[in-house]
Structure 1
Amino acid sequence: MAPSKKKHASSECCVIPGGFTVLSLKFSSDSVSQHKLYVKEHRVRAEKSSHRPLDRTLFVLNLPPYCSQDVVRDLFSQFGTVQSVELGDHPGSFKESGPRLSRFFKPPETQGFKVGYVVFQNSTSIAAAKSHPHDVPLVVCTDERPVLTGVQKWTRQYTESFIQVDKLQKIVDSFMEEYDKAKEEEAEQQRKEAEQQQEDEEGWVKVTRGHKGAKARPHSEAANQRTLRKEMRKKKRKELMNFYTWQHRNTQKEHIAELRKKFEEDKQRIALLRAQRKFRPY
């Protein structure tokens, strides 16, 4: 049987179920084996963070361990200017919400395949990355941007693990200055709130309005304690001692019986005083 003269389509993108586009990846130009990346436009409606625009963010799966943020930035820079790169162990919001710490105070990163979010400067870069031919692999290590692996990588990591004392001292001093500044601002804010919530000579408390016309609540510790005590007293007053109807009926009967008993006792005492001629109303 003669071979078919029909040629397979080349230089075309490969799209798999789920909407992911397959991109080939090679560590170096002379590597025989290839690695597959799966990219997709990031479109999550629940995502409200500003650092991942829905029209300029590319979601990347199956990133190998040797692909750092700089490597990923260089790989996707051929499709357009890359604004930011985020790498994580699993999809989701793994951006730091607190103050940015130095690498000396962070736990060691887990080694393994990662997911990434690549934010481009223009939305047209997303279409360029998705239309990249799957038979044209992206090269990680080149002469312009060498990537160390194996013993060379471990040697560099071991060398970088030694921290210079003066450099570490500068980082610690800078962090402590920012921490002290934040504490001073917090103390000043608490002092202003305490002054605003302080009672005047007549016992009145000035209550200001917050944003959108909402009534501001006192946030000082003393005001919170006063509010808590007031709520507890109100709760005690509203406690229902007789919740059921039959309990309320029995309580009324007992109260009437006590009143009758007291009335009879008063009648007997008055009669006794009259009998003893000690009752002198005038």
Structure 2
Amino acid sequence: MQAHIYPEPHVILPNLPHIHTNTLILLHGTSTSGPELAAPLLSTNFIGPSSQTPATIHQFFPTCKFVFPTGSLNPTTVFNSRHTHAWFDVHSFADRTIGEDSASFRHGLRASLRYLAALIKAEVEILRKQKTGGRVVMGGFSQGAAMVITLLLSGELEMAGIGSEFGGVVGMSGWLPLRSQIDEVSKDISYDVPIFLGHGQADEKVRLELGLQAMRVLRALGFDVQWEGYNGLSHWWNAEEIANIAKFMETVWSRDAGSRVA
């Protein structure tokens, strides 16, 4: 089985004189990269919850460190095994469950779970040393959202010793992999973090029903899930969704740290 090697993340630091107080890690979708996600997302202007002036999310959170990691470069079955950056192998866009029992899917998923848990751990250690009470939020788009949800349910965060500094999850246009096995792995979940899920109602690549299914399962597991659907939006995001995410993150970063880990 081919080794999984992850490029250095694309990092946007707070502009001076602002100091680093929180970190947002965002995962790209299949066949793109961290920098390719960062460029359009960080240039999206929106009206923030506490302002009437259009701003980007970087401008709205000037003390936030933005981290855009890139998935390993490996053969992707749905692209005729062409090498692409992905968090795990995808066999079909029409049916996301196809290939979940394959070695390529499971090996890639396990490698990405370990890599991302270590990435969060590193950011947590930085924030602990700074003693600012900062928190890490991890989000993703499409396959990146699926990866973040899986990480939350996998137990990897607990095994990495990540505590209350992990503040929340953001998923855009994602789905829930390994749905049939969730009940088997959910009993040991100790994290009580809020989750934001947004989805275009006209999404042609990851059907709206897949996002709704993820929301229902997570709520059934006891998670506090904010769900937002966007009329007419296809497989992308819009200013309204970014504004909703900004409001969600404001709440997460002001939440009492002691209330987030059971």
TM-score normalized by the length of structure 2? 0.26
TM-score normalized by the length of structure 1? 0.24
Q: Which structure has the larger Rg?
A: 1
Bigger share in strand: 2
